Chains A and B, each alone.
Chain A
Amino acid sequence: DIQMTQSPSSLSAFVGDRVTITCQASQHISDYVNWYQQKPGKAPQLLIYDASKLETGVPSRFSGSGYGTDFTFTISSLQPEDIATYFCQQYDHILTFGQGTKLEI
């Protein structure tokens, strides 16, 4: 299986901060990476697909980049409603997820 190593596991930031989360794949996976937001008690929500494409309806402060093995997810200006856990996911082969980043203010 392809492993996705996500960091950090938790992150504390202020409203208005720029926040960055990274995922490293255990092998080359092109741009086959998605990013999700999960709020407590809720299902994950797709934010970014194909490493950098914004899902319809998702605010433009969310963005993604990367290719190959190294991927980055960014919130350009953190808002209070962004408090959640974020996951990366690869789909080059069997789907696998990163371990998540819990974002706190």
Chain B
Amino acid sequence: QLHLQESGPGVVKPSETLSLTCAVSGASIRSFTSSWGWIRQSPGKGLEWIGSVSNRGSTSYNPSLKNRVSISVDMSKDHFSLNLTSVTATDTSVYYCARLEAGGLDVWGDGATVVVSS
């Protein structure tokens, strides 16, 4: 059974870069034709799509974050990663990774809480 798990710092200082990794287990990431995405959720903004990366490395980003976000995949390590630069308090959220299959997010990680604070 496919399983996704987020990892990374729980606290990031303002203006620094938020970096998270999503480990894929239960199957090799290269065995899928899916894309792999990041979503965040905060009380004030609900669920927000951040972006995705395909196994070929092509990316799609939310225009509202496009200047600050990058998502990459490392198939040799069966993981994909999120970098969000120049963070502020408004980036405080629960960050989820998920598999994107035909427009639907059908497998999710448990979520990682990230607080932006000095």
Contacts and interface: CB of A to CB of B under 8 A. Distances in A.
Interface of A: 1, 32, 34, 36, 42-46, 49-50, 55, 87, 89, 91, 94-100
Contacts of A50: 102-104
15 contacts: A1-B63, A34-B104, A43-B108, A43-B110, A45-B108, A46-B106, A49-B106, A50-B102, A87-B46, A89-B104, A89-B105, A94-B60, A94-B63, A98-B46, A100-B47
A29 B40 CA distance: 23
Contacts of B110: 42-43
B62 A94 contact: yes
A97 B103 contact: no
A23 to B, nearest CB: 13
Contact of A43 (B60, B62, B104, B111): B111
A55 B98 CA distance: 16
Given A1-B63, A94-B62, A94-B63, A46 B47 contact: no
A45 B63 CA distance: 25
Contacts of A43: 96, 98, 108-111
B39 to A, nearest CB: 8
B interface, size bucket: 10 to 19
Contacts of B103: 32, 34, 49-50, 91, 95
Given A34-B103, A49-B103, A44 B47 contact: yes
Contact of A97 (B49, B104, B106): B49
8 smallest CB-CB distances across A and B, nearest first, come from A91-B103, A43-B108, A95-B49, A97-B47, A49-B104, A34-B104, A46-B106, A99-B46
Contact of B108 (A44, A89, A91, A97): A44
Most A CB contacts (10 A, CB to CB) among B37, B49, B62 go to B49
Interface in B76-113: 96, 98, 102-106, 108-111
Nearest to A43: B108
